Structure 1
Amino acid sequence: MPSDPSSPTESGVTRPGTRPATVSMLTLSTFVIGSMVGAGVFSLPAGFAAETGVAGTLVAWAVAGGGMLALAFAFQLLANRRPDLDAGVYSYARAGFGRYLGYFSAFGYWASACAGNVFYWVFITSTLGAVFPALGAGDTVAAVAVSSAGLWLFFILIRRGVRSAAAVNRVVSIAKTLPIVVFVVLCATVFDPAVFAANWAGPSGAPLWDQIRATMLVTVFVFIGLEGASVNSRHARSRRDVGRATPSSASSACSRSSPR
């Protein structure tokens, strides 16, 4: 039995009682954006340039962006129709398909979060290794110690309450978004129609479908984290804020990441 009267039950349904600390729709949006904007988005242009041209890029973004936007609207619909379910993907899976599939949904989400944290911290420590040789390529004892300390720091912030974690997340989201905005502005200022036209078809001799297939997985990977507002829905001031934050953040991500 949870000690907090407002904490979710085993099925992900909130018990009546004192509500937990709440956050605004803007903060929920930063949860989504902060989760979606990871290291992969910054290496995306180089990956696309090596695999496809303008046509393949447009098709890949249209398919992946359209599918993820549909998923965002699905989260919006679920948040509005079942406000009693506030544990995100797990509670929806359990309510719709039973405890067995609900468990695998929660376990899969946890496993993906663990793998994502490993990737991020290896990426961070390997980058810092250029300045601090002791960190190496992110696989040294010092790198493991730094990564563990960072994870425990975030754990402590989350344990202090959602407001502390949200404040840090807002700063991180801004720090992640600013480089993308600067990149888009720079691309707009140096845009060359001749280069754009020359790269329309992509690598010579490569079929368009092969180009799209080579970039589709990376494109979908960029949208991981779309469920950020739904997972934290129990902290929303209004259930409608969850529905509004998810598709608006997805649309924003599509517009920022679309080729110019």
Structure 2
Amino acid sequence: MSNKKIGLFALTALVLSSMIGSGIFSLPQNMAEVAGVKALLIGWAITGVGIVFLGLSFFFLSRLRPDLNGGVYIYAKEGFGGLVGFFSAWGYWLCSGIGSVSYLVVAFEGIGTFVDTPEQIIFGTGSTFYAILGASLVVWLVHWLIARGVREAAFVNILATLVKVFPLILFIILAALYFSPTQFFSDFEGKTVMNQNQSMDLLTQVKNTMLITLWVFVGVEGASILSGHAKRQRDIGTATVLGICITLVLYVAITVLSFGVLPRETISMMSNPSMAPILESMIGKVGKMMITFCLIVSVLGSYISWTMYCTEVPYRGVESGAFPRMLSKLNKNNTPINSLWFTNIVIQLCLILVLFTSQSYTKLISLASSMILVPYILIGAYLFKLARQCKAKWYIQLTGLMATLYGLWIVYAAGMDYLFLSVVLYVPGVMVYLYSQYQQKGKIDLCKKEWGLLIILIGIFLMACWALSQGLLSI
């Protein structure tokens, strides 16, 4: 975007800001609703190992292929061909766009806690007319900011990251002081966790934590997406690993310590952001106000990061014919301005859709999470393939394998409903890819394997559409 390059500190802040959005403020309630302490610890152990391997995959890929810029798209394309690369880019772009909309919705829901009254609901759950109007203003303010150049937007993001991290550290310190081992172990097995009036077994509880933990870590790839703007390519992997380690410590500490402050049943019934009432139980109403304010700053900072990623992916995809040429246009600040317009117009349309459908934050992140599964699997798979081809050291090959297995585990844990939904959203994008191929090459350039994959996906797409029409898919 800009000629000015981003350093390690700013890249790390972007990774942190991408991952630390709205999810962390709702983690205690989200986890308490579906799992007991034992399942929670197992779920975080699996996620911790998996996400570290995923982060290391970006680290090693930035070393093995420093010539590649663009992150998830270019790695998938190099490893598995143009069509698979496009699916990775399309899925990631949709995830970024839908995730951005969810940030705006929850931000104005947070503002509503300060201005709404029982007699007059202005912002409500973030889907009222005034909330959507405010969110739209934010969309175009951020549009103006990013159009001025990525370094300027990254600086604003650093400030937002500092604001959001402070209350998280304060929460952890206070929760540690109020922590009760007796309370923590009172429902260790999670026997009171129910699903349709039936107690859930341990495996089901662990599986139910997976999409929650995946969503809060979405953004781990942020530094690689903006790799073309880094001062040093080696900073990409370092920023990714640093961001993961810091975020993992914060996530685990906040969720685990919360279970030692209040009963799991109490936390599971809280409204979100659930960190607010938990902190209120420790230091009074000022705690709730502090967390709510920081939630607003946090999600707006994350929105800046996600808009930059969402703009960069189509721009990088133009170079190899995955997206139409018009998206490659740069403005005087070297910002891909048409890609930025394309992204923000789609976000604006999604906001209008939210206004008329009253979709909640939870529904939006479910959609976003379903779209990120394939890109993450392909990152690990490409590292494993590349490491074997290059005869890299055993631990690099192991990293790729473990990251791939983690991605496949997430697909299994998410269930068939999410897999079908992903296909429903992936397949329409094929028309964009075929048009781009014809525009730039004068023909549709697919090999036999790609035609085979496309036929299979269209078959699944038709099945999924039928299941949706029959009400057989539950999201």
**Corresponding residue of 1:139:** 127
Structure 2 alignment gaps of length 5 or more: 193-198, 258-475
The match for 2:171 among 183, 188, 191 is 183
Aligned to 1:213: 207
Note the C-alpha offset of 1:193: 1.5
Whether the 8 Å contact between 1:90 and 1:106 is mirrored in structure 2 is yes
Alpha-carbon displacement from aligned partner over 1:53-85 (angstroms, at most 9, x marks no partner): 221111000111211110100001111111111
Worse-matched range after superposition: 95-104 or 111-120: 95-104
CA distance in 2, matches of 1:206, 1:97: 39
Letter in 1 for 2:43: A
| 1:21-78 CA distance string (max 9 Å, x none) | 1111111111111000111111111222233222111100011121111010000111
User: What secondary structure, in the 3-state scheme, does the structure 2 residue paired with 1:124 have?
Assistant: helix
- Where does 1:7-18 land on structure 2 (aligned, <5 Å)? none
Q: TM-score, normalised by structure 1?
A: 0.87
125-134 or 222-231: which moved more?
A: 125-134
Which of 143-152 and 27-36 deviates more? 143-152
Tell me whether 1:194 sits opposite 2:182 in the alignment: yes
Q: What residue number does 1:70 align with? A: 53
1:15 corresponding residue in structure 2: none
Aligned CA RMSD, in angstroms, stands at 1.7
Kindly indicate whether residue 72 of structure 2 is the aligned counterpart of residue 89 of structure 1.
yes
Determine the structure 2 residue equivalent to 1:203. Answer: 191
Specify which of 76, 97, 110 is matched with residue 127 of structure 1. 110
Residue 251 of structure 2 is matched in structure 1 by 257
Deviation, structure 1 residue 206: 3.9
Larger helix proportion of the pair: 2
Q: Does 1:167 align with 2:155?
A: yes
Q: 1:154 Cα shift? A: 1.2
SS in 2 for 1:86: coil
Q: 1:52 touches 1:203 (CA, 8 Å); kept in 2?
A: no
2:101 aligns with 118
Partner of 2:31: 48
Q: Higher RCO, 1 or 2 (CA under 8 Å, sep at least 6)?
A: 1
* Distance in 2, Cα, partners of 1:47 & 1:141: 27
1:234 aligns with 2:228: yes
1:135 is paired with a residue whose SS is coil
Query: Does 1:245 pair with 2:239?
Result: yes
Tell me, in whole angstroms, the C-alpha distance in 2 between the residues paired with 1:43 and 1:194: 24
* Count of residues in Structure 1 that have an aligned counterpart in Structure 2: 243
Report if aligned partners of 1:51, 1:203 keep a CA contact under 8 Å in 2. Answer: no
Displacement after TM superposition at 1:161 (Å): 1.2
Structure 2 vs 1, CA of residues 80 and 20 (structure 1 numbering), >3 Å: closer, same or farther?
farther
Q: Which amino acid aligns with 1:66?
A: V
- 1:89-142 deviation line (CA, Å, top 9, x unaligned): 111112222221222221111111111111111112223234154334322332
Partner residue in 2 for 1:14: none
Q: Partner amino acid for 2:88?
A: S
Residue 28 of structure 1 corresponds to 11
The code of the aligned residue for 1:162 comes to V
Report if aligned partners of 1:126, 1:137 keep a CA contact under 8 Å in 2: yes
Amino acid at match of 2:56: F
Q: So what's the TM-score if we normalise by structure 2?
A: 0.49
The share of aligned pairs that are identical, in percent, is 38
Indicate conservation of the 8 Å contact 1:20/1:234, yes or no: no
Per the TM alignment, residue 224 of structure 1 is displaced from its structure 2 partner at its CA by: 0.5
Between the aligned partners of 1:23 and 1:141, the Cα distance in structure 2 is 38
| Aligned residues of 1:233 and 1:242 also touching (Cα < 8 A) | yes
Q: CA deviation at 1:88?
A: 1.3
1:16 aligned partner = none
Question: Counterparts of 1:141 and 1:198 in 2: how far apart (Å)?
Answer: 44
Name the SS of the counterpart of 1:198 in structure 2.
coil
Please give the alpha-carbon distance, in whole angstroms, between the structure 1 residues aligned to 2:148 and 2:129.
29
Aligned partner of residue 134 in structure 1, secondary structure:
coil
Q: Give the structure with higher Rg (CA).
A: 2
Shift of 1:223: 0.6
Equivalent AA in structure 1 for residue 103 of structure 2: Y
Amino acid at match of 1:92: Y
